[in-house]
Structure 1
Amino acid sequence: MTGVLFEITFWLTVPFWGLMIFAPKSRLTARTVSSPLIAVPPLAVYAVLVAGHLPELWATMSSPNLDALREFLATASGASAIWAQVIAWDLLIGAWMYREGRRLGLHPVLMGPLLVLTIVLSPFGFGLFLAVRARCDRANRATSVVTGQ
């Protein structure tokens, strides 16, 4: 069961990534990825994976210890659970990047590869997007967000 859950986790998010990369200007894409509920499928997998290991997971995460975390992650359930969590957060990051890219008017030819890089190596994709965003965003954005002007 754990192996099947591991395998399907990524595939549950593919439709959302596909919309952002291949149909970025569609109203359906904008409406769909504006909701944080897109992360529910991989988080549901996470919940199923950790349900039987909650005491162990709680002990590992509430008192962080490298050896305990390594031991938990060495199990199929632990590795699959962390995978599901990473997939969910990567999707939320990707959705935010998509929305910011649309706000800034970034071309899909730029955003598509950034989103693919985020799928594969999220810290690099996200970091590169932040650099692009900083370069393209207005200098006074912080003030406009606070004042609404």
Structure 2
Amino acid sequence: MTETLFTLSFVAAAPFWALMIVAPTWRVTRAVAASPLIVLPAVAVNLVLLLPLLGAFWPVVTRPTLAGLQALVASPEALAALWAQIIAWDLFVGRWIYLDSRERGLHPLLMAPVLFLTILLSPIALPLYLGLRLTSRNYGAAGAPRGHKARTMT
């Protein structure tokens, strides 16, 4: 059961990642990603795993020690619960990156690797995106420098 829930936590998030990476300009993707509720399937898996272990988690999160955390994650159920939390958090961060990058007009081919890295290691991807965001500061949504008209194809 724990192994199934562990796998389900990512499977529940994967369709949202696929939309943001593979179909970033599709209006359906934008509509789906507009809701923070996309993280709820992974959160639900986390809660199924976490609630029976709340008594073991509570002392570790209220008085954290490395030894306490190490002892907690020795349990496959606790580790799977933490994994589901990571999956939900990464999706939440990825959703923000996706929405912000679309608003700033960053090219989807530039953003695909950033979003993929967010799935794998969001603590590296987030500062990377923030750096890209700084470079886009002087550009409008069409990619033209602010104060200049973007050329359009007619």
Q: Counterpart in 1 of 2:13? A: 13
Q: Counterpart in 2 of 1:89? A: 89
- Letter of the 2:107 partner, please give it: H
Cα deviation for residue 72 of structure 1 reads: 0.6
Q: Counterpart in 2 of 1:147? A: none
Could you list the per-position Cα deviations for residues 39-87 of structure 1 after superposition, in whole angstroms to 9, with x for gaps in the alignment?
1001101101012111111111111111111111111011101100000
Q: Percent identity?
A: 43
Aligned equivalents of 1:58 and 1:138: distance in 2? 46
Aligned equivalents of 2:137 and 2:78: distance in 1? 40
TM-score norm. by structure 2 comes to: 0.87
- DSSP-derived class of the 1:6 partner: helix
Q: Report the RMSD for the aligned CA atoms in angstroms.
A: 1.2
Q: Counterpart in 2 of 1:146? A: none
* Greater C-alpha radius of gyration: 2
Cα deviation for residue 101 of structure 1 reads: 0.5
Specify every segment of 5 or more residues in structure 1 that has no aligned partner in the other structure, as ranges. 140-149
Q: Counterpart in 1 of 2:28? A: 28
Cα deviation for residue 121 of structure 1 reads: 1.4
Specify every segment of 5 or more residues in structure 2 that has no aligned partner in the other structure, as ranges. 140-154
Q: Counterpart in 2 of 1:112? A: 112
Question: Counterparts of 1:1-149 in structure 2 under 5 Å?
Answer: 1-138=1-138
Cα deviation for residue 138 of structure 1 reads: 4.3
Aligned equivalents of 1:69 and 1:131: distance in 2? 32
Aligned equivalents of 2:40 and 2:3: distance in 1? 19
Aligned equivalents of 1:87 and 1:56: distance in 2? 21
